[in-house]
Amino acid sequence: MRPIRSTSIRTAALAAGAALALGLGSIATVPAFAKEMTKMVGGAAMYPSKNIVQNAVNSKDHTTLVAAVKAAGLVPTLESPGPFTVFAPTNEAFKKLPAGTVQTLLKPENKDKLKSILTYHVVPGRLTTRDLREKIKAGGGKAELKTAEGEPLTVTEKNGKLWLTDAKGDTAEITISNVMQSNGVIQVINTVMLPS
């Protein structure tokens, strides 16, 4: 058996060091958002470093909401610094509305009504479910949230789940919570809320 020469050890150490440096170099080139804590919504990862619109456009469960936001001219608002809490109805939630409602709302002549409905789903500030539960506790079992539209939404908790009640008495469950955004938070809901 031949003795191991120090040059062999040195060569192996240099090779290992080079491999490590290359490995670290490749890690350093990974985009920053790839390391973020994401949530999956509509089959897409939602990145906290992106804004509400940048994330929502990738959710296959929110194509109706995105189309409505565009038709109402609210994209610049929801791309702004905010922060906003958006209660985001899914496509299935929009399907619960009477037949033809969405198509009618998307017409240019109904832009103001559509804007009113959408801003009823937006609350100024970043409200996580923890924040909502604290407000419910402080309110003795329910909390009123003032929406960007002006009318309140009521939030309550039942069986560990958070529920919204609109001006007409309809309820929506928060089905995916605390989807963090650079300019706020999205709380996914299963019913479209309607102002009075």
In the prediction, which pLDDT does 2 show?
52
Q: Are residues 26 and 79 in the same domain?
A: no
In the prediction, which pLDDT does 35 show?
62
Query: Which alpha helices (DSSP H) does the chain contain, by range?
Result: 6-28, 52-56, 63-71, 75-79, 91-95, 101-105, 111-119, 129-138
DSSP secondary structure string, 137-192? HHTTS-EEEE-TTSSEEEEEEETTEEEEE-TTS-EEEEEEEEEEETTEEEEEESS-
Given a cut of 50, the residues of the chain with pLDDT beneath it are: 4, 6-34
Q: Looking at this protein, which amino acid is placed at residue 51?
A: N
- pTM: predicted TM-score of the whole model, two decimal places: 0.80
Tell me how crowded residue 38 is: count the other CB atoms within 10 A of its CB: 18
Domain that holds residue 142: 36-189
Q: Are residues 105 and 128 in the same domain?
A: yes
Is residue 97 assigned to a domain?
yes
Query: Domain with 78 in it: what CATH number?
Result: 2.30.180.10
- Give residues with Cβ within 8 angstroms of 28, minimum separation 6: none
Q: What is the pLDDT of residues 46-81, one digit of tens each?
A: 888 998 998 899 899 999 999 999 999 999 999 998
Q: Are residues 83 and 170 in the same domain?
A: yes
